[in-house]
A and B are shown apart, each in its own frame.
Chain A
Amino acid sequence: MTKSHLVISTLLALGCGFGGGLDPGPPDGTGIKGTLIFNGAWPPETADVAVAVYQRRPQSLADFFSIAGWDTTVALGVTRFEYFVPLESPGSYEWVVVAWRPQGGFWNFSSLLGCYHVGNDTLPTPVQVTIGETVKNVDIQNYFDLVQGVDRPDREICTGFLPLLPAGLKPVGFGRNDLRPGNRR
């Protein structure tokens, strides 16, 4: 009994592929991860915050819809959040932004809380991604007062290069380049 049982158990064990399953690598696949640091009080009308990654800085209205990847799981009301944006292809990603949406409102790409930039860069800092690699520590400082009209350098760095609104689109919210309705896909 014991022998036959052991033999069958062993066969079953071997048959199912010992040692398989999920493992740590490649870490998270191709993508970007980092920490979002939120400064200031969360506006009570906050409905959503998301991280969006663009391969090129938008030069036209159509470019806003060319999002390479996103993370929509940002927790609300927190002071820090670790995000991860998976990407399909390697390359240089020029615009990594954190967008804010009010309750009852739409995504508004001038309602940005921040973008990835380092040092004395006057434009968003591009992130180089190689295949299979997760670029870590792409940390972003976020300021809620940006969506309340307060002027600070991050506004110019993150949105100063954006094209002006097409004629007929009425600005709403707090930004100058309101592109309502927005779309994050």
Chain B
Amino acid sequence: MVVLGTELGVESGEDGEFRLAGLPLGRYGLSISMLGYAAYFEKNLNLEITGIHLDIGLLPSPLELPALIVSATKRPRSFVDASTSVAVLGGDEILEHNSVSLDESLDYVPGVHMVSGQVNIRGSSGFSRGIGSRVLMLLDGFPALSADNADVKWDAIPVDQIERVEIIKGAGSALYGTGALGGIVNVITRNPSARPETRFRILAGVYSDPVHPEWEWASGKRLFENLDVTHSSTSGKLGYILGLGQKWTNGFKENGWHRRYKGYGKFKYAFTPTSNLTATLNWARDDHGVFVQWKDRNEPLEVPLSSKGDKTVSGKLHLNLSYYLLASPVIGYRVRSFLYRTEFNNRVGGATSSAAYKFGQEFQTDLQKGEDLSLTAGLEWIADRVDSSPTLFGRHSGLNLAAYMQAELLATNKLGISAGWRFDRYRTDDRPAEIQFSPRLGLTYKMTPTNSLRTTLGWGFRGPSIAEIYTNATFSAVPIAPNTDLVAERSLSYEIGLNNRSLSWLRLDAAVFWSRYRDLVEARPDVTGVVSFRNVSKGRISGVEASLVASWRILDFDAGYTFMDAKENLPSGDQPLPYRHRHISSSGLKARLGAISSECRFTYKSKIEKASGLFPEGTRDLIPVYLIDLSFGYKIGHLDFTLKVHNLTEYNYARVERNLGTPRRFSIGISGTY
């Protein structure tokens, strides 16, 4: 049970009984949700006397909707009231996928696709080897893009701790500032459990041998394994989660080996029923080989002679602190402080290293004005410090100052209005400071209790990363030169969407979207072959996205389809934006019979029409992608078993040049909670 608009909540016991003490008198909204039941909202609970008793009945629902999301407004709000397209990926789904890394599961979300580890929301990012993500990554609302590359370190996301992942589609700089050009991925981690609880997850598997004997490159099976153990409990006012994990694989391709150790701790201390402090420590150390490009298409699982032995040792550390105080029934305060440290030591060609620190603070206040108006306002500063090899980035720093405000108004019982803006001023070293103003306007209209329309117009921007400005190195034989004239890239995105839940067994969502980009930063070679990041072009991406979820007896079906027309406006005429698929679809059929479940999932991505231009073969090998995944689950007592076959037909494909996609992979997962 969560008190709407606040971070206060409580878990019920197995009998459904809950008790929330110490709440000041006033009017509140409540959200109550439970697996297998439709979420219940009590939007106007008048707490006039101390001690009230609520009896709430939840209706069983085969189609579960997420009850609350926090990313759309920076405070807990009803999912169905969001004026922008939101997708939610549950932590249990990620475990069912037998995913070791979050990016594997994100690829199944409608409107989201991965290009060799780079997340795209509605085609926003393309592929730039991770550098300068156009999707803002957050961990519990804290920034999780590195200070040097502004990339997502997937191995820093604690997959086993994920409660859910909220994906906001479209520009989101009105609340989040730089990086939210194409959307936001916010990973929400679990809270400490009320009672002692130990969870574990073992995952092991094997990659199939190459289908073509010519591609054999190593003797022995290519294996992987992953182990996570966490313990959680609450003692008095302190709740905690402690976790350890490790991962190992020898990789399905040369230099594909990887070893990881990780540790996790989350502590939540409730000073009073209306104030709490949450501290999260998330650490990972990775040692892995580096595969940038294949030797050739006859030996696609091997690296060129010059890349043998290439490796990276990296470390990531999140230290996040959040204090929340509900000062009165209508005012809440939140203070956040964070440090995100990333480091790596590359042995790729020569030796390069970088240690990057991103740290900052945010002060946010939430105000509830009457029943129909809520306001959110905040101040934020974020600093970047990078200390790297002179032959890579060098030493640099940046500072971002911001102020934001957002209002949500229920104008009528059918029409909701959401409007906000954010000012950002940022500067890197002694380059001229840039100021960005990012407004946003959203509307929701409930035509009927089960049909709603939404529309959003939002601005986004992304300041260039330190890597994009200052890299002066040769990366995998591609020389990269600095460009200190880089400026922020900007986007304007608009969408109109429809959500339909008229039938109890069917949920439909569709959206038409349109985004315009200018000053897009792309890595392009000049006439001498030297690559630099430049504000090269304008672009536009328009498209349609549709998804449906249906449930009939023991069968669940889901399908998602995205059509994108991604164009770059060049003086010579419109050209396709690199690394975008025109058509993406994913559909799954799941059957549940008692303790047994099975799922078949089919994914299709059309051919990428344009690539970087760095490789002379162009898009020759970037063929359409067809993947079938099969999985089976069995639950016995406290244990869940999952058997999964990824890429059943062992379809060989490449999403970026000279990189073969994951071949057929068998995995078995065992997880348990005690």
Identify the A interface with B (CB < 8 A).
1-2, 4-5, 8-9, 12-13, 15-25, 27-29, 33, 35, 47-48, 50, 69-78, 80-82, 84-86, 101, 106-107, 182-185
Contact A27 B298 (CB under 8 A): yes
The tally of CB-CB contacts under 8 A between chains A and B is 130
Q: Among B307, B617, B623, which residue has its beta carbon within 8 angstroms of that of A29?
A: B617
* Minimal beta-carbon separation of A67 from chain B (angstroms): 11
- Residue in A1, A18, A19, A72 whose Cβ sees the most chain B Cβ within 10 Å: A72
Find chain B residues with CB under 8 A from A22 CB.
297, 300, 621, 623, 652-654, 660
Find chain B residues with CB under 8 A from A16 CB.
602, 604, 626-628, 649, 651
Measured CB to CB, the nearest residue on chain B to A71 is B616
Find chain A residues with CB under 8 A from B350 CB.
77
Contact B528 A69 (CB under 8 A): no
A22-B300, A75-B304 given; A101·B528 CB < 8 A: yes
Inter-chain pairs besides A19-B649, A72-B529, 9 sampled, C-beta below 8 Å: A9-B589, A24-B297, A47-B479, A48-B528, A69-B616, A73-B478, A82-B296, A82-B304, A183-B528
* Minimal beta-carbon separation of B389 from chain A (angstroms): 15
Find chain A residues with CB under 8 A from B215 CB.
24
Contact A21 B623 (CB under 8 A): yes
* Minimal beta-carbon separation of B476 from chain A (angstroms): 7
Measured CB to CB, the nearest residue on chain B to A23 is B212
With an 8 A cutoff between CB atoms, is B61 at the interface?
A: no
* Minimal beta-carbon separation of B591 from chain A (angstroms): 5
Contact A73 B649 (CB under 8 A): no
Find chain A residues with CB under 8 A from B525 CB.
72
What are the nearest 7 A-B pairs in CB distance? A21-B652, A75-B306, A16-B626, A73-B477, A78-B306, A9-B600, A22-B652
Contact B295 A82 (CB under 8 A): yes
C-alpha spacing A28/B621, complex, angstroms: 10
* Minimal beta-carbon separation of A86 from chain B (angstroms): 5
Q: Among A9, A13, A27, A184, which residue has its beta carbon within 8 angstroms of that of B296?
A: A27
Find chain A residues with CB under 8 A from B345 CB.
none
- CB interface residues, B 258-316, toward A, < 8 Å: 293, 295-298, 300, 304-307
* Minimal beta-carbon separation of B390 from chain A (angstroms): 13
Contact A1 B591 (CB under 8 A): yes
Contact B626 A24 (CB under 8 A): no
Contact with A along B613-654 (1 / 0, CB 8 A): 011110011010011101000000000000000001101111
C-alpha spacing A83/B350, complex, angstroms: 19
C-alpha spacing A20/B593, complex, angstroms: 34
Q: Among A29, A70, A78, which residue has its beta carbon within 8 angstroms of that of B620?
A: A29
* Minimal beta-carbon separation of B572 from chain A (angstroms): 16
A28-B296, A29-B617 given; A76·B212 CB < 8 A: no
Q: Count residues on chain B whose CB falls below 8 Å from chain A CBs.
A: 52
With an 8 A cutoff between CB atoms, is B474 at the interface?
A: yes
Find chain A residues with CB under 8 A from B602 CB.
12, 15-16
A1-B591, A22-B623 given; A75·B529 CB < 8 A: no
Find chain B residues with CB under 8 A from A9 CB.
589, 600, 628, 630
Measured CB to CB, the nearest residue on chain A to B304 is A82
With an 8 A cutoff between CB atoms, is B530 at the interface?
A: yes
Q: List 22 A-B contacts (CB under 8 A).
A: A1-B554, A2-B591, A4-B591, A5-B600, A8-B600, A9-B600, A13-B649, A24-B214, A25-B298, A28-B296, A28-B298, A28-B617, A29-B617, A48-B479, A72-B478, A76-B474, A77-B349, A78-B349, A80-B306, A81-B304, A101-B528, A184-B529
With an 8 A cutoff between CB atoms, is B598 at the interface?
A: yes
Contact B529 A48 (CB under 8 A): yes
A24-B215, A81-B306 given; A75·B530 CB < 8 A: no
Contact A72 B297 (CB under 8 A): no
Contact B616 A85 (CB under 8 A): yes
Find chain B residues with CB under 8 A from A12 CB.
600, 602, 628
Contact A23 B652 (CB under 8 A): yes
Find chain B residues with CB under 8 A from A78 CB.
305-306, 349
Contact A183 B527 (CB under 8 A): yes
C-alpha spacing A23/B660, complex, angstroms: 11
Measured CB to CB, the nearest residue on chain B to A101 is B528
Find chain B residues with CB under 8 A from A80 CB.
305-306
Find chain A residues with CB under 8 A from B306 CB.
75, 78, 80-82
C-alpha spacing A185/B306, complex, angstroms: 25
